[in-house]
């Protein structure tokens, strides 16, 4: 093993620095600073200029400056509360320093005639200028301390951690930069004319007087961080491929039998993705694939194809959905499709009593149950499988990377890991996907089943509700069904379902000939299920719902979707909701009700919804309006902890970064470890777990 540079002080925990004990280390840890090198990448938010002494006569309100003057007078006054005032004079003018908290010793030290240097923000007090609680120190006129010759950085900090200690520690780290190697490939440095890393760090932490570094985010650091991140996901992916998974044989008898029974044929896109998956399943290493398909693109069928492949090989499958409602729907679909094949689907619900559940759990353990469907309840300790070969996670954006990893661990049998298939309707721009989900292979179902007619979308002011109600009546008269999605009330689930009840009551009154149903998050699983079943069967014509119907509910006869309060919803959610209609062959429409006046962003969102139904276009606009943190879900980006770079702002770098990552692996493999270690924040641990569990 090579021991260059990596053994330096920089790679050691912060406690290796003089004066850093456990308490301080803990505070630094809160800032993500674990090792000495992390201090170097803890960049200032802004700077103070203490490099010149300002004449008092030139001060302006709001300036943060250094002044020096002789104390004219110090007095304690009482203006409603006791305070200490100290007036200093530099020959050009007089400035008052005001202290609301002070000690007697402090008062005595500020004696008339002493020379005082202080730093603070200038503010207006009546007609005069003053500083409240400035930093100050007494100056010996015979041996005046030199003033700073660099700008003073202000760092992001945490409670109980002084700027001064941060600065001191960072200065200590800066003294070690002589061992900090430049790790970017030389051609990248040349092509983009990146300055050397050391120079950049010194410039950022100790900018010479007069430099303009405020808000500076050097592209080299951004590039390096994105590169380290890219290498990290690649490495995690590589490590995941070092373990074993069942190598399944080509076996499609169940699937062929299902195809004969289905009233439709899979689309080309579905077939392509299915063959990508079955290819993965035949390898002896765990599949780790993300399938992205717009709402209604038929992801369930793809999941079923994968499941049947595993089952035909004698393995069991776990299908996990984010909500009970969806799990129930999957259970029903699967039972309908698979029972005739002799494939047994087991439903595991958080709502089942232990007794109800026991039988099902036993079946899984005995291998009588082939597919288990459920929410995360599936992965409680009591549920065990005889031979779990494949885990399918539906609607991935509700699950974080952590959950994905821990599921894999739970499914581990002996030294074999189950295959994993993740399905999401959230379209992810390709470059982002490679960086945010670089550990996954990626398939896209880029085609909707035939015979779907496009959805017409209109935005309407709340005041035009009457027109909307007429439209509902018309649709129902034509034998169609309608969704009405109630406002999202984030503050309270109770308020949310009360609002839904009020709306349902109102609609019942206004539409006496229409059968109205209500579904919300407070209903029990069985109640929800029964209402959804009635809606599916057409017994309910108008379904009033809270946003619980967001993901995956499938009722092809529904052709009208009303969404309330759309000014408060995100694009991704609106797109998901709208995807509940337009699943049959009738022309569908979506009415976006909003409360005027519309803000600028809200208007842009509604415009986007009216102009396109293409999930990828919507994802791009969403990304533009919100940034990747929200697009990918906070859970995921919680793992993508970037210090300098931003996936959104800096995404133009991603292609070059991906290219550089390839070059590093091919030409400088020893730098992979150095780069990921430098940027990915944890001392020790293997990269895969470090990356995902940081």
Q: Give the footprint of Mg ion on this chain (CB under 5 A).
A: 299, 552
Whole-number minimum distance, CB 589 to Mg ion, in Å? 22
Q: Is 449 in the site for ligand ADP (CB under 6 A)?
A: yes
Quick one: what does residue 134 bind among Mg ion, ligand ADP, none, with the CB cut-off 5 to 8 Å set by partner type?
Answer: none
Instruction: Pick the closer one to ligand ADP by CB: 66 or 318.
Output: 318
Quick one: what does residue 100 bind among ligand ADP, Mg ion, none, with the CB cut-off 5 to 8 Å set by partner type?
Answer: none
Angle, CA of 30, 31 and 34, to the nearest 5°: 85
Taking the CA atoms of the chain, what radius of gyration do you get in angstroms? 32
Quick one: what does residue 556 bind among Mg ion, ligand ADP, none, with the CB cut-off 5 to 8 Å set by partner type?
Answer: ligand ADP
Instruction: Pick the closer one to ligand ADP by CB: 232 or 266.
Output: 266
Whole-number minimum distance, CB 327 to Mg ion, in Å? 11
Which of the residues 71 through 100 are near ligand ADP (CB under 6 A)? none
Q: CA–CA distance from 268 to each of 69, 77, 291, 337, 394 (Å)? A: 81, 84, 15, 21, 21
20 Cβ neighbours under 8 A, 6+ residues apart: 14, 28, 169
Give the 3-state secondary structure of residue 110: coil
Instruction: Pick the closer one to ligand ADP by CB: 256 or 600.
Output: 256
What does the per-residue mask of binding to ligand ADP show for 546-585, with x meaning CB under 6 A?
------x-x-x--------------------------x--
* SS (HEC) of 554-591: CCCCEEEEEECCHHHCCHHHHHHHHCCCCCCCCCEEEE
User: Distance between CA atoms of 418 and 345, rounded to whole angstroms?
Assistant: 18
Whole-number minimum distance, CB 555 to Mg ion, in Å? 13
Sequence-ordered alpha helix ranges (H) in 538-668: 571-578, 600-611, 615-626, 628-631, 634-639, 654-667
Quick one: what does residue 295 bind among Mg ion, ligand ADP, none, with the CB cut-off 5 to 8 Å set by partner type?
Answer: ligand ADP
Quick one: what does residue 411 bind among Mg ion, ligand ADP, none, with the CB cut-off 5 to 8 Å set by partner type?
Answer: none
Whole-number minimum distance, CB 295 to Mg ion, in Å? 7
315 neighbors 446 (Cβ within 8 angstroms): no
Instruction: Pick the closer one to Mg ion by CB: 69 or 552.
Output: 552
Quick one: what does residue 550 bind among ligand ADP, Mg ion, none, with the CB cut-off 5 to 8 Å set by partner type?
Answer: none
Residue, CB closest to ligand ADP: 298
Number of residues that bind ligand ADP (CB under 6 A): 18
Name the burial class of residue 422, with classes exposed (0-12), middle (13-18) and buried (19+) by CB atoms within 10 angstroms of its CB.
Answer: buried
Quick one: what does residue 687 bind among Mg ion, ligand ADP, none, with the CB cut-off 5 to 8 Å set by partner type?
Answer: none
428 neighbors 436 (Cβ within 8 angstroms): yes
> Strand 46-48 to strand 152-154: parallel, antiparallel, or no bridges (unpaired)?
antiparallel
Whole-number minimum distance, CB 262 to ligand ADP, in Å? 8
Element (H, E) at 358: helix 354-366
Instruction: Pick the closer one to Mg ion by CB: 299 or 677.
Output: 299
Instruction: Pick the closer one to ligand ADP by CB: 300 or 636.
Output: 300
Instruction: Pick the closer one to Mg ion by CB: 302 or 459.
Output: 302
User: Distance between CA atoms of 66 and 52, rounded to whole angstroms?
Assistant: 7
Quick one: what does residue 293 bind among ligand ADP, Mg ion, none, with the CB cut-off 5 to 8 Å set by partner type?
Answer: ligand ADP
Q: Is 369 in the site for ligand ADP (CB under 6 A)?
A: no
Instruction: Pick the closer one to ligand ADP by CB: 170 or 445.
Output: 445
Quick one: what does residue 546 bind among ligand ADP, Mg ion, none, with the CB cut-off 5 to 8 Å set by partner type?
Answer: none
User: Distance between CA atoms of 436 and 27, rounded to whole angstroms?
Assistant: 28
Q: Is 404 in the site for ligand ADP (CB under 6 A)?
A: no
Whole-number minimum distance, CB 536 to ligand ADP, in Å? 10
Instruction: Pick the closer one to ligand ADP by CB: 100 or 264.
Output: 264
Quick one: what does residue 246 bind among Mg ion, ligand ADP, none, with the CB cut-off 5 to 8 Å set by partner type?
Answer: none
Whole-number minimum distance, CB 436 to ligand ADP, in Å? 21
Quick one: what does residue 183 bind among ligand ADP, Mg ion, none, with the CB cut-off 5 to 8 Å set by partner type?
Answer: none
Name the burial class of residue 297, with classes exposed (0-12), middle (13-18) and buried (19+) by CB atoms within 10 angstroms of its CB.
Answer: buried
Instruction: Pick the closer one to ligand ADP by CB: 550 or 650.
Output: 550
Give the 3-state secondary structure of residue 253: helix
Residue 367 CB: number of other CB atoms within 10 A?
14
Q: CA–CA distance from 411 to each of 21, 166, 308, 351 (Å)? A: 41, 44, 18, 23
Quick one: what does residue 487 bind among ligand ADP, Mg ion, none, with the CB cut-off 5 to 8 Å set by partner type?
Answer: none
Quick one: what does residue 636 bind among ligand ADP, Mg ion, none, with the CB cut-off 5 to 8 Å set by partner type?
Answer: none
Whole-number minimum distance, CB 552 to Mg ion, in Å? 4
Helices 324-338 and 253-261, interaxial angle, to 10°? Answer: 90
Instruction: Pick the closer one to ligand ADP by CB: 442 or 668.
Output: 442
497 alpha carbon, distance to own chain's centre: 27
- Structure tokens given for 297: 């693109």
> Strand 558-563 to strand 135-139: parallel, antiparallel, or no bridges (unpaired)?
unpaired
Q: Which DSSP letter does residue 59 get?
A: -
Whole-number minimum distance, CB 20 to Mg ion, in Å? 51
Whole-number minimum distance, CB 446 to ligand ADP, in Å? 12
- Structure tokens given for 155: 């760092």
419 neighbors 411 (Cβ within 8 angstroms): no
Quick one: what does residue 396 bind among Mg ion, ligand ADP, none, with the CB cut-off 5 to 8 Å set by partner type?
Answer: none
Give the 3-state secondary structure of residue 414: coil
Instruction: Pick the closer one to Mg ion by CB: 131 or 302.
Output: 302
- Which residues in 11-163 belong to E strands, given as ranges? 46-48, 64-78, 82-89, 94-99, 115-125, 128-132, 135-139, 152-154
116 neighbors 72 (Cβ within 8 angstroms): no
Instruction: Pick the closer one to ligand ADP by CB: 272 or 510.
Output: 272
Instruction: Pick the closer one to ligand ADP by CB: 120 or 293.
Output: 293
Give the 3-state secondary structure of residue 529: helix
Which of the residues 251 through 310 are near ligand ADP (CB under 6 A)? 264, 266-267, 270, 293, 295-301
Whole-number minimum distance, CB 33 to ligand ADP, in Å? 43
Whole-number minimum distance, CB 221 to ligand ADP, in Å? 40
Whole-number minimum distance, CB 412 to ligand ADP, in Å? 28
416 Cβ neighbours under 8 A, 6+ residues apart: 243, 244, 245, 246
Whole-number minimum distance, CB 301 to Mg ion, in Å? 10
- Structure tokens given for 360: 């099902």
Q: Is 427 in the site for ligand ADP (CB under 6 A)?
A: no
Whole-number minimum distance, CB 556 to ligand ADP, in Å? 6
Angle, CA of 517, 523 and 525, to the nearest 5°: 105
Instruction: Pick the closer one to ligand ADP by CB: 301 or 632.
Output: 301
What residue ranges bind ligand ADP (CB under 6 A)? 264, 266-267, 270, 293, 295-301, 425, 449, 552, 554, 556, 583
């Amino acid at each position: 093993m090579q021991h260059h540079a990596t053994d330096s002080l920089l790679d050691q925990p912060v406690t290796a620095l003089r004066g850093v004990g456990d308490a301080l280390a803990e505070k630094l840890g809160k800032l993500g600073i674990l090792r000495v090198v992390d201090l170097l990448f803890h960049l200032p938010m802004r700077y103070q200029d203490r490099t010149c002494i300002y004449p008092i006569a030139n001060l302006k309100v709001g300036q943060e400056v250094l002044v020096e003057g002789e104390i004219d007078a110090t007095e304690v006054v009482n203006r409603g509360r006791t305070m200490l005032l100290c007036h200093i004079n530099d020959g050009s003018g007089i400035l008052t320093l005001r202290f609301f908290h002070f000690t007697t010793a402090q008062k005595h030290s500020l004696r008339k005639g002493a020379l005082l240097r202080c730093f603070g923000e200038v503010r207006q007090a009546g007609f005069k200028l003053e500083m409240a609680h400035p930093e100050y120190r007494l100056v010996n006129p015979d041996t005046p301390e030199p003033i700073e010759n660099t700008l003073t950085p202000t760092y992001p900090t945490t409670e109980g951690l002084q700027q001064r200690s941060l600065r001191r520690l960072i200065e200590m780290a800066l003294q070690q930069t002589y061992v900090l190697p430049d790790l970017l490939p030389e051609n990248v440095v040349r092509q983009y004319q990146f300055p050397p890393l050391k120079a950049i760090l010194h410039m950022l932490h100790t900018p010479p007087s007069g430099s303009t570094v405020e808000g500076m985010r050097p592209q080299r650091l951004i590039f390096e961080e994105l590169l380290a991140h890219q290498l990290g996901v690649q490495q995690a992916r590589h490590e995941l491929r070092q373990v074993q998974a069942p190598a399944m044989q080509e076996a499609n008898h169940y699937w062929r039998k299902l195809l004969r029974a289905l009233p439709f044929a899979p689309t080309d896109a579905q077939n392509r993705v299915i063959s990508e998956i079955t290819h993965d399943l035949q390898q002896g290493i765990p599949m780790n694939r993300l399938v992205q398909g717009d709402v209604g693109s038929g992801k369930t069928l793809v999941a079923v194809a994968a499941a049947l492949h595993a089952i035909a090989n004698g393995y069991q499958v776990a299908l996990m959905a984010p909500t009970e409602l969806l799990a129930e729907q999957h259970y029903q679909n699967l039972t309908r499709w698979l029972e005739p094949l002799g494939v047994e689907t087991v439903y595991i619900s958080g709502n089942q009593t232990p007794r109800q559940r026991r039988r099902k759990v036993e079946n899984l353990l005995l291998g009588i149950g082939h597919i288990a469907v459920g929410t995360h309840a599936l992965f409680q300790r009591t549920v065990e499988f005889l031979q779990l070969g494949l885990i399918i996670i539906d609607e991935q954006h509700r699950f974080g990377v952590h959950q994905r990893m821990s599921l894999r661990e739970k499914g581990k049998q002996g030294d074999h890991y189950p295959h994993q298939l993740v399905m999401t309707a959230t379209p992810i721009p390709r470059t982002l996907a490679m960086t945010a989900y670089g550990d996954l292979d990626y398939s896209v179902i880029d085609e909707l089943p035939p015979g779907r007619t496009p959805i017409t979308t209109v935005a309407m002011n709340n005041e035009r509700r009457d027109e909307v109600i007429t439209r509902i009546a018309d649709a129902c008269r034509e034998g169609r069904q309608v969704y009405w999605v109630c406002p999202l009330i984030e503050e309270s689930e109770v308020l949310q379902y009360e609002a839904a009840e009020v709306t349902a009551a109102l609609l019942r009154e206004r539409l006496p000939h229409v059968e109205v149903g209500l579904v919300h998050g407070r209903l029990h699983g069985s109640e929800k299920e029964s209402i959804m079943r009635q809606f599916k069967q057409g017994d309910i014509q108008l379904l009033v719902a809270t946003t619980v119907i967001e993901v995956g509910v499938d009722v092809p006869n529904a052709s009208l979707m009303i969404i309330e309060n759309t000014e408060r919803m995100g694009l991704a959610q609106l797109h998901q909701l709208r995807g509940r209609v337009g699943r049959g062959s009738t022309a569908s429409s979506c009415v976006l009700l909003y409360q005027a006046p519309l803000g600028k962003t809200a208007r842009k969102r509604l415009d986007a919804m009216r102009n396109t139904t293409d999930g990828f276009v919507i994802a791009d606009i969403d990304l533009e309006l919100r940034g990747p943190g929200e697009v990918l879900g906070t859970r995921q980006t919680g793992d993508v902890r970037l210090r300098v770079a931003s996936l959104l702002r800096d995404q133009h770098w991603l292609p070059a970064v991906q290219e550089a990552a390839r070059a590093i692996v091919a030409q400088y493999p020893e730098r992979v470890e150095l780069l990921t270690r430098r940027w990915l924040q944890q001392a020790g641990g293997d990269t895969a777990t470090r990356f995902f569990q940081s």
